[in-house]
Amino acid sequence: MTNNKRCILEALSLTDDYANLEWGTPPRNAATVATILSLDVSNVARTLRNMERQGLVQAEDRMVDVWCEVPKPAHYPRQMRCYWRTDTMGQDKAAADTWQAGSKERGRKAEEKMLAMMLQG
């Protein structure tokens, strides 16, 4: 197990509030993992494919919002290969589901905070 593989596995399993807000919940695609680790995306993608063959990760195709300049600058849905860590997949799925289930409540609380701040000052 190389250090690169260990770091990639760790990035795939990040489910704390900061990671979920910054990069979204697992599963994650190669570009997201490369961003988290400040690595080259082509190397991360190749390593993830090797890790899938070794059984360390499981892949699935998902729609992911991706930044694109054409036809106009915005996020557009695109089908991408996303990866789960095999040994923590159940826990990571549960954490992702819990995070997604609480998104409306987090949004409501954030809106209330912003309104309160605007009314104060």
Please state the domain extents for the chain. 3-120
- 82-113 pLDDT tens trace: 999 999 999 999 988 888 888 788 788 888 88
Predicted confidence (pLDDT) per residue in 40-65, tens digit: 999 999 999 999 999 999 999 999 88
The domain defined by 3-120 carries CATH number 1.20.120: no
Q: Is 83 exposed, middle or buried (0-12, 13-18, 19+ CB in 10 A)?
A: buried
Instruction: pLDDT band for 35, please (50, 70, 90 cuts).
Output: very high
pLDDT at position 121 is 67
Overall pTM > 0.85: no
Alpha helix positions (H), 14-61: 17-23, 30-37, 41-54
Measuring CA to CA, which residue among 69, 89, 101, 74 is closest to residue 28? 89
